[in-house]
Structure 1
Amino acid sequence: MIGIVYITAGSMQNASEIARELVSRRLAACVNMFPIFSVYRWNEQIEEQNEIALLVKTDSSRLDEIIETVRFLHTYELPAIEFWEVKGEQEYLDWVHVNSS
């Protein structure tokens, strides 16, 4: 199954480090990064922060390795790591599968 792993990072530097590692290890075919503004509860406080969102295109068989890699490289105590199954144009999905296997 092909999907997107959604991750947030506190800086472009950390996001880029994670993205490069995932792609270089063939855990992801591609990673898109863009700035976001987040509002969330942490330690019973409402927090507001600029972050970088990563959309990691991958095969679900790589998810455990992605989680392990992200937890090792991430600067957050508890990084957001979510997997979303996607459907799409088959030739593109095949490309994702080949390049993340």
Structure 2
Amino acid sequence: MTVPLEYFVIVAAVLFMTGAVGFLIRRNLLVLLMSIELMLNAVNLTLVAFNRQHPGDHTGQIFTFFIIAIAAAEAAVGLAIVLAFFRLRSTVRSDDADLLRN
């Protein structure tokens, strides 16, 4: 019994839309980073799902591996920036980040 490709694409679309809405609505920098990670994981799910259709070709899995590596680097750099911002302003709201331009 196999799961149809459409189900994977629907779940990935719901994940991506949840991440996009979270990124656009929320103001907490940590939530923004988690929303970006959610959108990247939706793309990973789509790539692996389409790779299931072509079992001899591993291009989708290779792209997923690189996306995971880039997401890990993005999380490390993003958290370092959030920590530095928190030490400077004692808040993690993205609305207060424009105050750094002084």
What TM-score results when the alignment is normalised by the length of structure 1? 0.28
Higher relative contact order structure (alpha carbons within 8 Å, sequence separation ≥ 6): 1
Higher strand share: 1
The structure with the greater share of residues assigned to helix is: 2
